[in-house]
A and B are shown apart, each in its own frame.
Chain A
């Protein structure tokens, strides 16, 4: 064999061996994309990767289909995700079905700086044995501030096509559209789930949704309503309050928030059963859910951290320098008329209502 060729081959093989020896752990973390993933990247992922050179974190933006894709992965026996960002009701369902790991909160998670154990620090937001809370967010409405002389103030205005004409962008799923329909129909936010628990209540909600059905563009990804609002395609758009904050304050779009009847929900992590790098993920979680990190995330997006010890540390936006307090869904002014999402109720009824909602849509 040619000597040069031999040397080249040897060098290649050697390089291959060295590369394998330095092989990095690549963790796939599934989240919601857009502004939200960006805030996690800056508050959790980047600091963690800086401190642990052997770890690479890859973002996957398919959390909106997270629960179903994870089921598919488990059924096919090929789990490729290490960590999944999930809403509380989905986390409850996944936990019930044994698709995600149970967490020992005090052992697996860091205590607060003053030594308070994690389970106390997270308090009421621990809604399932598998769910590690991160933030409280809300699904609320934004509207174009440049088309109405007198802006809308309440949920009923969203269903009032005469006073506030124009298209509405709503999320293509039953919640919280059914709750909103009932509130617009005059139900007190406190009684929403009592009414929804009856067949007549559900009929009433769908009937109210019928009145605006022609004017609705249904979205499936959090970025779509922001685009539709920015393009002026819709007058109202439902969205996550952090995305709306970004569109209003960072992108300076002519959009205003309608906080009335915002649906406050919890979002957090679940660890898939059979995650390829479980050990590394648990180390990462201990870091990413400590008091400082949760408070840091609020510098990049207007979602409220769920540790009691993080709340006082929420300050100003990292780039804009504005005070984040009033932009949190949990700010007192925004809380008037808010709906507290009933996780158990949705976990029990989601399958039925999702099916009914889909057939209602296809009509």
Chain B
């Protein structure tokens, strides 16, 4: 029926094209222009943000190195049972000898040793030692004996269980390590020994410190933003420059300044000793610990709280509080019932900005945090640039990303993301 109607009432443009089509075409043209305009930004986000994140996600489970360095061993070991009480057969050892010799000549085999060392200490040394010796050997009749003669670890079940377990192209061991768990030699999961557990406690510390810093920036930033919003524009512009000034100073300079201020022989301690508040022996330890991280990061992140608060407060007419007062509200009630609810959007925006920045900070904690004030991001940086355990760094990074997303969703549920206002 609809078809019949459309046919009878077909409206065409002057050159005979149905109006619907002509409109569609015109709209498509506009859409195309819009797409073209956003495409540079889209490509930018894709290349600098989405692809690296995807790369990080794959790195955290990637185990292709086993197949690269041990191409025939990973095939042969399939026939061997993980619960077997005997080491693999001669064919597997022949494959091991072949792969190892090739790898030693390429000089790449110790990379696999380093990889397996993450799971079991001593593997790196075993691979290096074997590589040194195997170069001088020819393919033997009995590879089993030769390998065990090089190092008796090749005759141990645990070594082979590890190789079997980590012979696939993907592994979950980085994630296990990132939550302080490990696979035992029989394949079951367990938490690491108490003195080897690091990351769970660090994740908690990172969250705890980030929340502390966020609350401190709210407490410090709120009065400042209020002052800026209520002063005359001319004066407030001047003061805003003081808020922005640290923004234009290098992060390292600001952090080093805090070191000069806070250290034992630093400015603050010197003044406190000079005016007699402190003894020379009881100087405060304000740096190379948690306090140092909190103080320096609160200062550095403060502008991110003040600016959204300021722009929200600017929009609140002073007459509202006056109206509340005129109707008999005490100053505190007027603030609590009228002013504060209107600034929630700014607090939310500043809070989430500061929190997310704080949770990923690493330069400042590295310089002023000592060992007690370092955050999970410092360990991610350590594994990226010093230990080169990129898999573990990727796993830690992924967990951190998920954690932030979870907190974001929680925030959305509690406060509502549409209530957030940046200005």
Contact = CB atoms under 8 A, between A and B. Distances in A.
Nearest to A220: B366
Contacts of A355: 121, 387
Contact of B263 (A65, A233, A354): A233
A72 B107 CA distance: 16
A358 B382 contact: yes
A68 B386 contact: yes
A7 to B, nearest CB: 37
Contacts of B117: 351-352
B196 A359 contact: yes
A231 B198 CA distance: 32
A348 B198 contact: no
A363 B193 CA distance: 13
Interface string B282-304: 00000010000000000000000
Contacts of B196: 356, 359
A71 B387 CA distance: 10
A148 interface: no
B370 A96 contact: no
Contact of B106 (A69, A98, A347, A358): A98
A356 B197 CA distance: 10
B386 A65 contact: yes
A72 to B, nearest CB: 7
Contacts of A347: 128
B128 A358 contact: no
A348 B387 contact: no
A97 B288 contact: no
A363 B180 CA distance: 13
Nearest to B370: A217
Interface in A207-229: 217-218
Nearest to B372: A362
Nearest to A165: B281
B107 A97 contact: yes
A1 B114 CA distance: 65
Contacts of A349: 125
B342 to A, nearest CB: 44
Given A355-B387, A358-B382, A96 B107 contact: yes
B265 interface: yes
B195 interface: yes
A162 B192 CA distance: 35
B388 interface: yes
A87 B382 CA distance: 20
Interface in B354-408: 370-371, 374, 379, 382, 385-388
B125 A218 contact: no
Interface in A336-363: 347-349, 351-352, 354-356, 358-363
Nearest to A173: B386
Nearest to B366: A220
B131 A96 contact: yes
A232 interface: yes
Contact of B122 (A69, A72, A352, A360): A352
B264 interface: yes
Contacts of B106: 98
A17 B111 CA distance: 45
A92 to B, nearest CB: 9
B128 A96 contact: yes
Interface string B109-123: 011001001000110
B265 A363 contact: no
B152 interface: no
Given A217-B288, A348-B129, A362 B371 contact: yes
Interface string A56-92: 0000000001001101100000000000000000000
Contact of A359 (B198, B370, B374): B198
B108 interface: yes
Contacts of A96: 107, 110, 128, 131-132
Given A68-B387, A233-B265, A362-B198, A352 B110 contact: no
Contacts of B370: 217-218
Contacts of A233: 263-265
Contact of A69 (B107, B110, B132, B385): B385
Contacts of A363: 195, 198
B163 interface: no
Given A356-B196, A362-B374, A351 B107 contact: no
Nearest to B105: A98
A348 B121 CA distance: 11
A72 B388 contact: yes
Contacts of A93: 110
Contact of A362 (B110, B129, B202): B202
Contacts of B107: 96-98
B124 interface: yes
B195 to A, nearest CB: 7
Interface in B85-141: 106-108, 110-111, 114, 117, 121-122, 124-125, 128-129, 131-132
Interface in A91-133: 93, 96-98
A68 B374 CA distance: 21
Nearest to A352: B121
Nearest to A213: B371
A67 to B, nearest CB: 9
Contacts of B388: 68, 71-72
B92 to A, nearest CB: 25
Interface string B72-88: 00000000000000000
A17 B379 CA distance: 48
Given A68-B388, A355-B121, A363-B198, 8 more contacts: A68-B385, A68-B387, A97-B108, A167-B264, A233-B263, A352-B124, A359-B195, A362-B379
Interface of A: 65, 68-69, 71-72, 93, 96-98, 167, 217-218, 231-233, 347-349, 351-352, 354-356, 358-363
7 contacts: A97-B110, A167-B264, A351-B124, A352-B124, A358-B382, A358-B387, A363-B198
Interface of B: 106-108, 110-111, 114, 117, 121-122, 124-125, 128-129, 131-132, 195-198, 201-202, 263-265, 288, 370-371, 374, 379, 382, 385-388
Closest 3 CB pairs of A and B: A98-B107, A348-B125, A352-B121
